[in-house]
Amino acid sequence: MGKVCTLSEAVARYVKSGDTICFGGFTTNRKPYAAVYEILRQGQKDFTAWGGPAGGDWDMMIGEGRVKAYINCYTANSGYTNVSRRFRAAIEEGKLTFEDYSQDVLMLQLHAASLGLPFLPVRLMNGSGLTEHWGISREEREKIDSVDNDKFVYVDNPFNPGEKVIAVPVPKLDCAVIHVQKASPDGTCIIEGDEFHDVDIAVAAKRTIVTCEELVSDEFIRRDPTLTRIFGMCVDAVVHAPHGAWPAQCYGYYDVDSKAMTEYDKASKYQDANDAKRQLAKAAEKAQKAAEKAPGDARAAEMAAKAAAAAKGAEDGTAVPETFQDFLNKWVYGVKTHEEMLDKVGASHLISTKNVPGLGYAGKIPERTC
Amino acid sequence: MPDYTNYTKQEMQAFAIAKNIQANQIVIVGTGLPLIGASLAKRIICPSCHPIVESGLMDCDPVEVPRSVGDNRFMAHCAVQWPNVRFIGFEANEWLHGEDRLIAFIGGAQIDPFGNVNSTCIGDYHHPKTRFTGSGGANGIATYCNTVIMMQHQKRRFIDQIDYVTSCGWMDGPGGRERAGLPGNRGPQMVVTDLGIMKFDEDTKRMYLAYYYPFSTPEMVQENTGFEIDVSRAQLMEGPDPEIIRIIREEIDPGQAFIKVPREK
């Protein structure tokens, strides 16, 4: 059976509920969003997620309740949302089973998985909250098959007796999903720019889905093997998905869609309309109290009036702000395919995110002043 | 002609960062103020420095200010694009080889007198009042590298007991790092805030005020610090020349991504 298929076929075949899964990319760079949206549409859930340097990808999965355990080190659309909001709300409301590692350790764990190591000794996390606190307790861990029973174990360095090092488990990935610049039908991939942990997870996972900006022939991709990064035999499905990292950036191709990132930043403040009502009512109450405390403060009074109007608009339904749910209905559930979504984003807008050769991002060429 | 004498607190902080980068240092930066400071150093104050980021991009010299450490703006203008694990190995090997070339900028929400930093949560770890991103690369950086910590100087942030230690400082004082299994010859060198520069006493490892700015005073620093801080050694650090401010506003961050220019009065 050939590997080239549609996004819907790839996700249906290779992403299963209950998977231990990892996405490629780095916060707002080369995130496999097209596949993430397709997973959301198809409904797979109960993931044990190795977040890595995550952003909106895992924030959406968490907001949609698809995550059984979140092994994380950083979740932010850096520069737009400093702490991903559905991730943050889920932890603050006690709704997410999560574990914290440092990014160094988590990336080394993924690398160790690609090397097939049994466990990984590190000199990291010593003395910090990362060793003092377990996000998932031993008792809980024993109940979750996909999570190791220990977050870490202190071991003696066998080659330097007396040196205490930290042994961490190595993830057993069922599935990896990555987005690359070029792939060919046999699965060979070219990644331009930083590979991040993408090559590691493609090797480590039992099943790997690749979406690509350009699908090129097997002959073309191996014209210069110094550029290829992933051996085709590590890949199960190849999907042609131009702009498949939207609204994240993709080196050599396009920049972050600032408009969409800003939209998500605002929308993801509220889970849904009821949450918006609740939060805005609370904010109005707080602003009102502040204004009462400072009589004669015109600015405080103005803020209170603004907050009251926002709360009223949400309450009576005349001005409900866009919510996380609305964002997904608009860009994910409201379209059937990636192509339909691209039509909705619009050709001229997508073109405005194109990278300028030489600069490496979408922007104005600095003018030389003489 | 725009006014370049009206520098802001943030611009003073960026200037303070740049002044503390030394020749040939390898500087681990994130985004925001440390990057502005490092860019300023790279351009005029200390052009021999080598900015690197934890995503693995080495010797970065971005044209436009990047928004994240994995940004195409870093990627397109650096010497080497390493994967993140290579960066971690480099950091560890610098320590193993006894090299003293790295200096790293990290930030946080809370800090204690020994420079231990919290960027994980406020309140109980399992039921936090506020959850942040967590470690990112900060824990590893604070393990293996000398650090400069960037903070907003507020009483609620400078406290005796922080809620979670994301990045280890001098732990509980002299010998604390060794007892915790951390390299003892690495640790926080200074804290740069919007009110001044704190350093750590060689004997006690406690924070003291080393410099205040033209617009701050030692009294202001004590008022905004939630623990006793020695201000007896404090000296005045002069503000930046207008040319420095011109470079920040016109060349480094013209889009005001991180530093807002004050409105002309």
As averages over each run of 10 residues, the pLDDT of chain A (370 residues) reads 94 98 98 98 98 97 98 96 97 98 98 98 98 98 97 97 96 98 98 98 98 98 97 98 98 97 98 97 96 92 95 94 98 98 98 94 74
φ/ψ of B61, rounded to 5, equals: -145, 65
Q: Residue A1 has what pLDDT?
A: 63
The interface residues of chain A toward chain B in range 282-321, judged by CB-CB distance below 8 A, are: none
Interface test with A, best of B43, B71, B127 (most A CBs within 10 A): B71
A56 Cβ under 8 Å from any chain B Cβ = no
A361 Cβ under 8 Å from any chain B Cβ = yes
Tokens of A91: 């932890």
Q: Residue B265 has what pLDDT?
A: 53
A233 Cβ under 8 Å from any chain B Cβ = no
Tell me which chain A residue has its CA closest to the CA of residue B130. A92
CA nearest to A136, candidates A165, A101, A99, A106: A99
List CB contacts of A163: < 8 A, sequence separation 6 or more: A156, A157
DSSP class of residue B71 equals -
**pLDDT tens digits, chain B, 265 residues: what are they?**
789 999 999 999 999 999 999 999 999 998 788 889 999 999 999 999 999 999 999 999 998 889 899 999 999 999 999 999 999 999 999 999 999 999 999 999 999 999 999 999 999 999 999 999 999 999 999 999 999 999 999 999 999 999 999 999 999 999 999 999 999 999 999 999 999 999 999 999 999 999 999 999 999 999 999 999 999 999 999 999 999 999 999 999 988 888 888 876 5
Contact B221, B231 (CB under 8 A): yes
Quick check: is B219 catalytic?
Answer: no
Residue B87 CA to residue B203 CA, distance in Å, equals: 32
Do A103 and B165 count as a contact with CB atoms less than 8 A apart?
no
Do B125 and A129 count as a contact with CB atoms less than 8 A apart?
yes
Active-site residue identified among B11, B54, B99, B202: B54
DSSP class of residue A275 equals H
A234: three-class secondary structure by DSSP: helix
Q: Residue A307 has what pLDDT?
A: 96
Contacts of B127 in chain A (CB under 8 A): 92, 94
Q: Residue A56 has what pLDDT?
A: 98
**Strand ranges (DSSP E) for B29-108?**
50-52, 57-58, 80-81, 102-107
Contacts of B91 in chain A (CB under 8 A): 104
Q: Please report, in angstroms and rounded to a whole number, the separation of the first and last CA atoms in chain A.
A: 61
Residue A358 CA to residue B65 CA, distance in Å, equals: 16
Interface test with B, best of A103, A105, A159, A359 (most B CBs within 10 A): A103
Tokens of B109: 């929400």
Most distant CA pair in chain A, distance: 76
Q: Residue A368 has what pLDDT?
A: 63
Burial class (CB in 10 A: 0-12, 13-18, 19+), B184: middle
List CB contacts of B79: < 8 A, sequence separation 6 or more: B58, B59
Nearest-CA distance from A4 to chain B in Å?
28
Query: In A87-123, which positions are buried (b, 16+ CB within 10 angstroms) versus exposed (e)?
Result: bbbbbbeeebbbbbbbbbbbbbbbbbbbeeeeebbbb
pTM of the model: 0.96
Q: Give the position of tokens 């929308």.
A: A267
Do A88 and B82 count as a contact with CB atoms less than 8 A apart?
no
Q: Residue B258 has what pLDDT?
A: 87
Instruction: Flag whether the ipTM exceeds 0.90.
Output: yes
